[in-house]
A and B are shown apart, each in its own frame.
Chain A
Amino acid sequence: MASTQSAPVPTGSPVADAPVPDEPAKRRSAFRVDRYATLLFFALFFVVVGISKGSAFLSWDNFSLVLADNANVAILAAAATITLVAGQFDLSVGAVAGLSSVLASHFVIEAGTPPLVTVLLILALGVAAGLLNAFLVAVANVNAFVATLGTGGLFSGVALWVSGGESIFGEMPKSFTDAGTTSLAGVPLPIVFVIAIGLGLWTLTRRTVVGRFWYAVGANPEASGLAGVRVRRVTTYAFIATSVLAALAGLLASARFGSADPAAGPDLLLPAFAGAFLGSAILSDGRFTVVGSLLAASLIVLATNGLDVMGVNFAVKPMFNGAVLVGAVALTEYLRRRSGRRSLIPKAT
């Protein structure tokens, strides 16, 4: 047997640590330039439209009108963001908003339901839709992409059925339409609602345990589960929050316009997701944030209004939204690869 001493003969000489260039710092500064480039693009576009069209575009009157008309898009972007934070997709948000708008109009116009009861019913609809999605995803383990694509079809179908495929018009109680059309200190109420929802959701996601858990489950569901987080329950809360917000978006739209179009819901999906992803790309390092989504969605609706004012064909609008969505994801993924981090965007399949 060899003695213990004879064996180890050091041959390699340990060397003092060589100074290493501070790479992370360099990366971080490059990061910012890319992000601001996107914001700069929007700013330039606004300036160009502003110069050529003047106050028809670049004025408080126009901006507040556009933002109030599209408050439902901003709320829907925030709605989609909650499930994205928790690592899931909810493609049914547009359909839930559409159904909620149709039902709200149906209740107040055709059934004569008092406005307050209508609001409660719509909130209940949001909870029910969220529970259905959560059941499919968290209990039956159906991929969220597939599950919510399917339930979206269901919700759209119910909206068509209730409305008979026609837009719902008619006399609405003043207290109901006031919520969508009056102003508070010169700010249209829908914008006030968006700001209030933004503050509330910021608190919910960044200052409560549930919000923490959403981010944790979105970052690594297995690890969160092993660390003691009740993943199923937390995911369920996320789907409920998303659907309730989507329902509120639909409610606000019907109060604003005094009518409901059963086909409008699904068209809201693209700008909502574009807002969520653009917000994650330009206002944080690829992490989904509710406030980022609200701001980005507002940027997008203002830019689309800019296209309208410039007289661009209305068919360009969905193309623009699609380009923003894909561009935002490409930018996020590019930044992520350069910083060597894992993607936070939930996998669709």
Chain B
Amino acid sequence: MVTSIEHPSAPHRDAAPLLSIAGLRKSFGSTPVLRGIDFTARAGQVHGLLGTNGAGKSTMIKVLAGHHDADAGTIDVRDHRQVDSVGRIGVVHQDLALVDALTVRDNFHLSRRGGLTRAGLVDVRRERGAVTNALRAVNLDLDPETPLSELTLGTKSLLAVARLLANDADVLLLDEVTAALTRRESSWLLTEMRRLADEGRAVIVVSHRLHEIVEFCDEVTLLRDGSVAYAGPTPDLRGLHAMFESGGARPAREAGAEPRTGPVALRLDTVSRGEVGPIDLTVRRGEVVSVVGALSSGLYELGHLAAAATKPASGRRALSGREPGTPARCGFVPEDRKALGILPRLDVAANLTISAERRVFPRLWAGPASERRSVDVVMDDLSVHPRDPTMKIEDLSGGNQQKVLMGRTQLLDPDLLVLCEPTRGVDVGTRHAIYEYIESARASGAAILVVTIDVDDALAVADRVVVIESGSITSTHHRDEVDPVALLEKVS
């Protein structure tokens, strides 16, 4: 049950700003990503930074962390103990930048400064003391010689925060760190962050879990298409959700449209592998099923199993083709575009045709003419921009790379489409192009499985929404019976 939470009026609205950003701009090639961002985080404040994929959050964080230079604008960081002096900003990224094979102490001293040394050698005793002290600041009691691999993700993220504190960070930025944590761990981490803010620092939290934002943040800033769409006190959960909706990210499909579903195409029968399963799931022809869950729920593993990209340890996966006896074709778009999707340095045409080589080139001879024709059709259908099949794939924007991956499945004319995070890191226009592609594939009789942590995505296209928690399917909802807010709660 969702209740709106009365938020106390933010206590620190007039406190000194520790981070002031003015007029921040950044473009990649000809694509503006940040169009003049103003942002203020004050001492004693926990500030939520929100925005859908492609809104510019990660670019802004990369600029703050010093990975990118801004094209224009100013960033001013102040010391939280002495506002006149320049301070430091510390960013914890989702991967935490910790090395599992090393101990806590080793990890702790993996920073630009290196370790504490005496006469050129590591001073173990002094390093242990420093670690213990820093860990105390976040209420962690750990042996500095513990191998990192023995720690839970929650402890690791606090360790990453402690490392920033030891490096005198005045502004702490958590970039979707909670996404991979269980609810308890995440609230533990955020309680500590609240306390660190109360000591006079500024804390910025990037999270897709809106209830966390409501519970822990004094103020929020919402980015949309590279601009600030809202900056002010944290609204309640429904208010926040409405803010996202007004971004135009919602349904491509009319509510109540009758699903025109055919026979079962994909059947997972008590399939399990590793932490996932046993899973029973069927997807019919002409049906879109969304799987939603937290990052750690095993949803992508389920996606890979459904696409037969991995083999189940037990259970059975069956996919039937259009006519009995013909081989069934499965199109797959993996969740990590860069690592698992694109073929870097190859051109767009090669990236498009790789899955369907045998369909596009029925013979050994890969003739440029037959290739051009099918490539042209797909590039037009998905309005890939620039419309040049000879461009190197990595010279396209993320959104257009994603369109190419969609086109790769279109050329296959698939019986089953498995799309993991189809709209990750794409702008609103591309998002709609992708929704339209899903809709047209559905209309042509494909069975479609969308796997995403983004509830908006899941709802936008689905006939049925399936929730996965800790590797198991815990509930199934018809699209008209879904309460988006309740769903948000479930997946986080």
Interface residues of A (CB under 8 A from B): 1-4, 6-15, 17-18, 20, 23-24, 207-213, 215-216, 219-220, 222-229, 286-287, 341-342, 344
Contacts of A15 in B (CB 8 A): 25, 35-36, 227
Given A4-B242, A287-B345, decide whether A12 and B332 contact each other with a Cβ distance below 8 A: no
B368 CB to closest chain A CB (Å) equals: 8
Q: In the docked arrangement, what's the CA distance between A341 and B396, Å?
A: 12
Q: Give the contacting residue for B32; candidates A12, A17, A219, A225; CB below 8 A.
A: A17
Q: Is A1 a contact partner of B357 (Cβ separation < 8 A)?
A: no
Shortest CB-to-CB span from B419 to chain A, Å, is 12
Shortest 8 CB-CB contacts between residues of A and residues of B: A12-B228, A4-B242, A7-B235, A219-B343, A2-B239, A12-B227, A1-B4, A7-B239
Query: Chain B nearest CB: distance from A225 CB in Å?
Result: 8
**Chain B residues with CB under 8 A of A208:** 364-366
Q: Are B230 and A216 in contact (CB under 8 A)?
A: no
A11 touches B340 (CB 8 A): no
Is B229 touching A8 in the complex (CB atoms < 8 A)?
yes
Q: Is B232 an interface residue (CB 8 A)?
A: yes
- CB of B199 to closest CB in A, whole Å: 29
In whole angstroms, what is the CA distance A10 to B225 when docked? 12
Interface contact B38-A216, CB-CB below 8 Å: no
State whether A227 touches B227 (Cβ < 8 A): no
Picked from B30, B37, B340, B346, the residue with its CB within 8 Å of the CB of A216 is B346
B436 within 8 A of A: no
Closest Cβ–Cβ distance, residue B399 to chain A (whole Å): 16
Question: In the complex, A8→B234 CA distance in Å?
Answer: 10
**In the complex, are the beta carbons of B235 and A2 less than 8 A apart?**
yes
Measured between alpha carbons, how far is A220 from B354 in the docked complex, in Å?
A: 12
Binary A-proximity of B20-60 (CB < 8 A = 1, otherwise 0): 00000101011010011110000000000000000000000
> Which of B230, B236, B344 meets A10, CB within 8 Å?
B230
Which residues of chain A are within 8 angstroms of B353 by Cβ–Cβ distance? 212
Report whether B357 and A226 are in contact in the complex, using a CB–CB cutoff of 8 Å.
no
Q: Is the interface of A mostly helix, strand, loop or mixed?
A: loop
Given contacts A24-B395, A212-B357, A227-B408, contact A341 B227 (CB under 8 A): no
Candidates B35, B71, B344, B357; contact of A213 at CB < 8 Å: B357
B222 within 8 A of A: yes
With A3-B239, A222-B339 given, name 7 new contacts (CB 8 A).
Answer: A1-B239, A2-B238, A7-B232, A12-B36, A223-B342, A227-B332, A228-B412
* Interface pair A209/B239, CB less than 8 Å apart: no
Query: How far, in Å, is B52 (CB) from chain A's closest CB?
Result: 13
* Closest CB in chain A relative to B219 CB, distance in Å: 12
In the complex, what residues of B have CB within 8 A of residue A13's CB? 36, 227
CB atoms of A227 and B354 under 8 A apart: yes
Contacts of A4 in B (CB 8 A): 238-239, 242-243, 246
Distance from A200 Cβ to chain B, minimum over Cβ atoms (Å): 13
In the assembled complex, B334 has its CB within 8 A of some CB on chain A: yes
Contacts of A342 in B (CB 8 A): 344-345, 394
Q: Are B345 and A209 in contact (CB under 8 A)?
A: no
Indicate whether B252 reaches chain A with its CB closer than 8 angstroms.
no
> How distant is A50 from chain B, measured CB to nearest CB, in Å?
37
**Interface core residue of A10, A17, A216, A223 (most chain B CB under 10 Å):** A223
- Among the listed B231, B357, B395, which residue makes an inter-chain contact with A209, where contact means beta carbons less than 8 Å apart? B357
Q: A1-B238, A2-B239 are in contact. Are A209 and B366 (CB under 8 A)?
A: yes
A280 to B: closest C-beta gap in Å: 11
The CA of A222 and the CA of B304, in the complex, are separated in Å by 13
B484 in contact (CB, < 8 A): no
Contact of A17 with B30 in the complex, beta carbons under 8 Å: yes
B394 A14 Cβ-Cβ under 8 A? no
Q: Is B358 an interface residue (CB 8 A)?
A: yes
What total count of A-B pairs have CB within 8 Å? 145
CA–CA, A341 and B391, complex, Å:
13
Query: Which B residues lie within 8 Å of A227 (CB)?
Result: 332, 343, 354-355, 408
A212 B366 Cβ-Cβ under 8 A? yes
Task: Type the 1/0 row for B349-392, where 1 means its CB is closer than 8 Å to any CB of A.
Answer: 01001110110010011110000000000000000000000001
Give the interface SS of chain B, mostly helix, strand, loop or mixed.
Answer: mixed
Q: Does B309 contact A (CB under 8 A)?
A: yes
Contact B30 A2, beta carbon cutoff 8 Å: no
- A341 in contact with B30 (CB, 8 Å): no
Contacts A15-B35, A208-B366 given; indicate if A220 touches B342 (C-beta within 8 A). yes
Give 11 pairs: A residue, B residue, CB < 8 Å, sorted on A.
A9-B230, A10-B228, A20-B29, A207-B366, A207-B367, A209-B366, A212-B353, A226-B340, A227-B354, A228-B412, A342-B345
A residues near B71, Cβ cutoff 8 Å: 18
Q: B242 — which chain A residues lie within 8 A by C-beta?
A: 4, 7-8
Q: How far is the CA of A4 from the CA of B240 in the complex (A)?
A: 8
Do residues B354 and A212 form an inter-chain contact, with CB atoms below 8 A? yes
Query: Which residues of A lie under 8 Å from residue B239 when comparing CB positions?
Result: 1-4, 6-7
* B315 CB within 8 Å of chain A: no
Asked if B147 lies at the interface with its beta carbon under 8 angstroms from chain A, I say: no
Q: Is B321 an interface position by the 8 A CB rule?
A: no
For residue B251, CB closer than 8 A to chain A, the reply is no
A7 adjacent to B243 (CB under 8 Å)? yes
Task: Point out the residues of chain A lying under 8 angstroms from B343, CB to CB.
Answer: 215-216, 219-220, 223-224, 227
> Is there an interface contact between A12 and B38, defined as CB atoms closer than 8 Å?
yes
With both chains docked as a complex, state the minimum distance between the C-beta of B307 and any C-beta of chain A, in angstroms.
8
In the bound assembly, the distance between CA atoms of A23 and B395 in angstroms comes to 12
Of B229, B307, B354, B365, chain A has the most CB atoms within 10 Å of the CB of: B354
Cβ-neighbour of A20 out of B27, B36, B355, B412 (below 8 A): B27
Which B residues lie within 8 Å of A225 (CB)?
Answer: 309
CA distance A344 to B144 in the complex (A): 40
Provide the residues of chain B in CB contact with A286, threshold 8 Å: 345
Nearest B residue to A222 via CB reads B340
CB distance from B118 to the nearest CB of A (A): 34
A10 touches B229 (CB 8 A): yes
Select from chain B the residue with minimum beta-carbon distance to A8: B230
Q: A9 contacts B232, CB within 8 Å?
A: yes
B350 and A212 within 8 A (CB): yes
A11–B365 touching, CB < 8 Å: no
The answer on a CB contact under 8 Å between B243 and A8 is yes
Q: Which residue of A lies closest to B244 (CB)?
A: A8
Quick one: which of B30, B37, B357, B367 contacts A12, CB cutoff 8 A? B37
Measured between alpha carbons, how far is A24 from B38 in the docked complex, in Å?
A: 30
Which residue in chain A gives the minimum CB-CB distance to B360? A209
Q: Which residue of A lies closest to B38 (CB)?
A: A12
Partner of B394, one of A207, A222, A341: A341
Q: Is the CB of A8 within 8 A of B236?
A: no
Contact indicator B240/A7 (Cβ below 8 Å): yes
Question: How far apart sit A32 and B228, CA to CA, in the bound complex (Å)?
Answer: 42
Q: Which residues of A contact B222 (CB under 8 A)?
A: 8
Is B115 on the interface with A (CB-CB < 8 A)?
no
Q: How far is the CA of A219 from the CA of B233 in the complex (A)?
A: 48
